[in-house]
């Protein structure tokens, strides 16, 4: 909807930050622009900003951006269809992330591994950990239970999937107030 506006604002942030030698602001602008270029389908521009982000984050020693770029790298391998590379890069991103933010690392790892395993037809392998996590992390339970329902449906357990979705729809604990 507002992609062109965002790209224009990204360009302005990058230009002003570069002109005024504010590398952290340039890194933020390039990161936004990288994602927006990818959304726009301009892979070459996204890749150029990715390379600039890597350089800037290394120069600044900014660990949070190293982590984000590691997850982004894994996601790109998946999008490119390089599933084996994506799995290795997910593992590497997890290792980059886990020491500084274990909970976030596990959540990102789980999301990316679910997508990888689903692509491989192996997402049923993750059902036990999804159930455990949904039971112990209520802040992400809806997403996880939706993934469980998807897995059940894709493995022919339609009644089980319906029961899970019905439980989500009728449980006030998951009501966000938006009807």
DSSP string, 15-75: HHHHHTT-HHHHHHHHHHHHHHHHHHT-HHHHHHHHHHHHHHHHHHT-HHHHHHHHHHHHH
> Tokens 């360009």 appear where?
11
- pLDDT at position 134 is 84
- pLDDT at position 176 is 55
- pLDDT at position 7 is 97
- Share of residues in the chain with pLDDT > 90 (%): 61
- pLDDT at position 159 is 96
Which residue positions in the chain have pLDDT lower than 70? 172-179
- pLDDT at position 177 is 56
- pLDDT at position 75 is 93
Query: What's the alpha-carbon Rg for the chain, to the nearest Å?
Result: 19
CB 137 within 8 A of CB 104: no
- pLDDT at position 173 is 57
Pick from 146, 96, 151: which is nearest to 123 by CA?
151
Pick from 70, 80, 25: which is nearest to 50 by CA?
70
- pLDDT at position 110 is 85
Q: Per residue in 122-143, is it b (16+ CB within 10 Å) or e — as a string?
A: ebeebeeebeebbeeeeebbeb
């Amino acid at each position: 909807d507002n992609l062109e506006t965002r790209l224009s604002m990204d360009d302005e942030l990058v230009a002003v930050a570069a002109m005024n030698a504010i590398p952290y602001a340039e890194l933020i602008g390039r990161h936004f622009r990288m994602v927006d270029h990818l959304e726009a389908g301009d892979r070459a521009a996204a890749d150029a900003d990715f390379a600039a982000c890597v350089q800037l984050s290394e120069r600044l020693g900014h660990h949070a951006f190293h982590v984000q770029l590691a997850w982004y790298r894994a996601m790109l391998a998946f999008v490119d269809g390089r599933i084996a590379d994506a799995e290795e890069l997910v593992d590497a991103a997890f290792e980059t992330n886990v020491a500084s933010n274990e909970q976030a690392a596990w959540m990102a790892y789980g999301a990316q591994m679910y997508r990888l395993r689903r692509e491989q037809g192996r997402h049923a392998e993750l059902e036990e950990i999804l159930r455990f996590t949904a039971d112990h992390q209520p802040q992400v339970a809806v997403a996880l239970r939706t993934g469980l329902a998807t897995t059940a449906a894709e493995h022919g357990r339609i009644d089980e999937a319906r029961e899970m979705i019905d439980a989500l729809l009728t449980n006030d604990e998951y009501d966000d107030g938006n009807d």
